[in-house]
A and B are shown apart, each in its own frame.
Chain A
Amino acid sequence: MQPAERDEVEMLSLMLLIRRFEERASQQYQAQKIGGFCHLYIGQEAVVVGAVAATRDDDYLITAYRDHAHALARGTSPDACMAELFGKETGCSKGLGGSMHYFDKARHMYGGHAIVGAHVPLACGLAFACKYRKEDRVTLCFFGDGAINQGAFHEALNLAALYKLPIVFICENNLFAMGTSVKRSTSLKQIVDRAEGYDIPGEIVDGMNFREVRDKLKEVVTSIRKEPHPAFMEVRTYRYRGHSMSDPASYRTKDELEKYRLDDPIIRLRAQLTREGKLTNEQFDNIDKQAKQTANDSVKFAEESPEPPLEKLYDYTYVS
């Protein structure tokens, strides 16, 4: 069964929440409250929010390390997400995972994986389990354009096609893997052609357009629920920030960035809704104010939360 249509204003609010959350995370990183690596999703919000709008809450979702948005989109609380960045016990992975390893079992968010490409086989396993148990869930597997040249990715696509697994491979093509443009990493003219090599149906989607992501994915997911099979989506998007907090992104031009900023997914959906009389400026301002407040509150929550106790250091190595 497909879920009821998700309210678009609500989805816009979610995109705003993700953006404000990450802006706050960025400040906290600069204030050295957050350690390790921290990769921001700003600019790509329509991809995961469009996907969530097209699927059910019990569908499986798994992604790479640029994962804050994927958890937030699935409903993990901003408090738990910020606390994880602070390494606090109240974090969504109890402060043991960090920015790159968000997990939320209750919301079927299966990570947060930081070895490029290595989670794509895991996604096949999730989908395999659904088919094994004859469930009609679909697995959404997100990864970057950098992952498509990894062996694990290729092996996983072949397995998914061979075993007809109910999975959508969603390549978030933001044109760069760190400083390497797709042109310099990939022999194909377009990434979607990777799918063809495995006889997996694929399409190109405008990732700056929430509605297009949602609608195209909905079609694919409906087809998979009828009869399990893999599908591939090359979602064209852009990250406004550097690869991680330490990257000034000098490998691309200001003009290129500006071009995408004008095509911002939040501005676009807002304009669509406003034009259709579904959203006033005042409503938008309120939503944004709320998002900022929630993000600020999450920082406070994270700051006030306790560290994981040292006595529990050995508690998560084995289970009984």
Chain B
Amino acid sequence: MIMREITYRQALNEAHAEELERDPNVFLMGEEVAEYNGAYKVSQGLLDRFGAERIIDTPISENGFAGLGVGAAMVGLRPIIEFMTFSFSLVAFDQVVNNAPNMLTMSGGQFNIPITFRGPNGPAHQLGATHSHATECLYANIPGLKVCTPATPRDAKGLLKTAVRDNNPVLVLESELLYSSKGMVEPLDVDLTIPLGEAEVKREGSDVTIICYAQTVPLALAAAEKLEDEDISSEIVDLRSIKPLDEEAIYNSIRKTHRVVIVEQDRPFCGVGAEVCYRIQKNIFDQLDAPIARVSQEDVPMPYNEKLEKAVLPNVDKLIGAVKKVCYA
């Protein structure tokens, strides 16, 4: 099997095309997804290939078209709803948290909602407070939703394809900063799917476990390189899915390293790391040789100013500092 190097954007594009091809119930809907080929060009060429009945432009009405998707899913279609960014999904919050995940329970099991909400999530570069939300902790809090956060082209393709086939509402939280990043992906004739709730060790190591996802994966890998120079060997565990969470993968790594740093792209208060941290101390406290450290955003609305934005975001230096602290180095 000859792997190909493609971009994260291309990987997502392939996932759409393959799922649209495979299942006539799948359609893509969102702002600028059709004629404009996607705000970030993820849906490039899909309109030409699949036609206007399945690749559907919407007005700027997130609440409206997210709800339309949920309704269509009630009767068995499998919508992919693109949010131009998940910051705008907040306008559709009611549909995503109240309608999509509650329907199954409220109907006593009669209506499952096979829908995928996807789009870029998390801070990009100097977009300011309204456009920089990392929403994973908001959505992971909701029972009935599944949340995944691919960091590589391969994960993006495999997770999106799985999401579309899942019979529950799944959020695929992409990242604007990763769209142009490249990585190795199986050839086109491989039907690549990656299960939700399966983390991946992106780099093996023995001294410290760095738990990361989405934008913080490349950051963690970069930090690991530098730490190697100082003889600290880091194991990088990419969660890939926030919910369901692959706790076993986390614990397996900690049993090896006994030290943990969580580097997350969201905010500290009730952030993803808070939950992961709680579970670790509850379940394998005895394995820890040091308190768990977290690196996250600062707890402020995102400033526009470049220097200040940098100060708010996690970065390699902050991560290295945290690693050294837990290693008492």
Counting chain B CB atoms within 10 Å of each CB, which of A101, A104, A155 scores highest?
A: A155
Report the minimal beta-carbon distance from A61 to chain B, rounded to whole angstroms.
12
Which residues of A lie under 8 Å from residue B65 when comparing CB positions? Answer: 121, 155, 159
Report the minimal beta-carbon distance from B72 to chain A, rounded to whole angstroms.
4
Which residues of B lie under 8 Å from residue A97 when comparing CB positions? Answer: 105-108
Counting chain A CB atoms within 10 Å of each CB, which of B73, B101, B105, B111 scores highest?
A: B105
Known contacts A125-B69, A128-B71, A319-B168; is-contact A159 B107 (Cβ 8 Å):
no
- Pair A151/B112 contact, Cβ less than 8 Å: no
> Who on chain A is nearest to B169 by CB?
A318
Residues 280 to 320 of chain A near chain B (Cβ within 8 Å): 315-320
Identify B94's interface contact among A93, A95, A152, CB under 8 A. A152
Which residues of A lie under 8 Å from residue B61 when comparing CB positions? Answer: 155, 158-159
Residues 78 to 97 of chain A near chain B (Cβ within 8 Å): 91-97
- Pair A122/B67 contact, Cβ less than 8 Å: yes
> Who on chain A is nearest to B113 by CB?
A319
Known contacts A110-B74, A155-B63; is-contact A101 B68 (Cβ 8 Å):
no
Which residues of B lie under 8 Å from residue A132 when comparing CB positions? Answer: 27, 53, 72, 77
> Who on chain B is nearest to A95 by CB?
B108
- Pair B53/A128 contact, Cβ less than 8 Å: no
Identify A118's interface contact among B69, B79, B98, B111, CB under 8 A. B98
- Pair A124/B75 contact, Cβ less than 8 Å: no
Cα distance, A2 to B111, chains bound together (Å): 27
**Size class of the contact patch on chain B:** 35 or more
- Pair B71/A125 contact, Cβ less than 8 Å: yes
- Pair A124/B68 contact, Cβ less than 8 Å: yes
* A140-160 to B contact mask, C-beta < 8 Å, 1/0: 000000000001100110110
Which residues of B lie under 8 Å from residue A252 when comparing CB positions? Answer: none
- Pair B167/A320 contact, Cβ less than 8 Å: yes
> Who on chain B is nearest to A91 by CB?
B108
Residues 96 to 115 of chain B near chain A (Cβ within 8 Å): 98-99, 101, 103-112
Which residues of B lie under 8 Å from residue A152 when comparing CB positions? Answer: 63-64, 67, 94-95
- Pair B67/A120 contact, Cβ less than 8 Å: yes
> Who on chain B is nearest to A162 by CB?
B59
Number of interface residues of A (CB under 8 A): 45
Residue A41 interfacial (CB < 8 Å): no
- Pair B67/A93 contact, Cβ less than 8 Å: no
Which residues of A lie under 8 Å from residue B180 when comparing CB positions? Answer: none
* A1-44 to B contact mask, C-beta < 8 Å, 1/0: 00000000000000000000000000000000000000000000
- Pair B67/A118 contact, Cβ less than 8 Å: yes
Residue A123 interfacial (CB < 8 Å): yes
Give the interface SS of chain A, mostly helix, strand, loop or mixed: mixed
- Pair A123/B71 contact, Cβ less than 8 Å: yes
- Pair B107/A93 contact, Cβ less than 8 Å: yes
Report the minimal beta-carbon distance from A168 to chain B, rounded to whole angstroms.
15
Which residues of B lie under 8 Å from residue A105 when comparing CB positions? Answer: 107, 110-111
- Pair A93/B70 contact, Cβ less than 8 Å: no
Cα distance, A113 to B95, chains bound together (Å): 12
- Pair B168/A126 contact, Cβ less than 8 Å: no
- Pair A101/B95 contact, Cβ less than 8 Å: no
Residues 44 to 59 of chain B near chain A (Cβ within 8 Å): 53, 56, 58-59
Residue B178 interfacial (CB < 8 Å): no
Which residues of A lie under 8 Å from residue B67 when comparing CB positions? Answer: 118-122, 124-125, 152, 155-156
Residue B76 interfacial (CB < 8 Å): yes
Counting chain B CB atoms within 10 Å of each CB, which of A62, A101, A121, A124 scores highest?
A: A121
- Pair A115/B94 contact, Cβ less than 8 Å: yes
Residue A202 interfacial (CB < 8 Å): no
Residues 96 to 115 of chain A near chain B (Cβ within 8 Å): 96-97, 101, 103-105, 110-113, 115
Report the minimal beta-carbon distance from B117 to chain A, rounded to whole angstroms.
14
Residue A60 interfacial (CB < 8 Å): yes
- Pair B68/A159 contact, Cβ less than 8 Å: yes
Residues 136 to 155 of chain B near chain A (Cβ within 8 Å): 143-144, 146
Known contacts A118-B98, A152-B94; is-contact A316 B72 (Cβ 8 Å):
no
- Known A129-B76, A155-B65; further 6 A-B contacts with Cβ < 8 A: A93-B106, A94-B109, A155-B59, A163-B56, A316-B109, A319-B167
Considering the complex of A and B, which 3 residue pairs feature the smallest CB-CB distances, nearest first? A125-B71, A121-B67, A94-B108
Q: Which residues of B contact A (CB under 8 A)?
A: 27, 53, 56, 58-59, 61, 63-77, 79, 94-95, 98-99, 101, 103-112, 143-144, 146, 167-168
Pairs across A and B, CB under 8 Å, 9 listed: A91-B108, A112-B106, A121-B67, A152-B94, A156-B64, A317-B104, A319-B109, A319-B112, A320-B167
Q: Which residues of A contact B (CB under 8 A)?
A: 60, 62, 91-97, 101, 103-105, 110-113, 115, 118-129, 132, 151-152, 155-156, 158-159, 162-163, 315-320
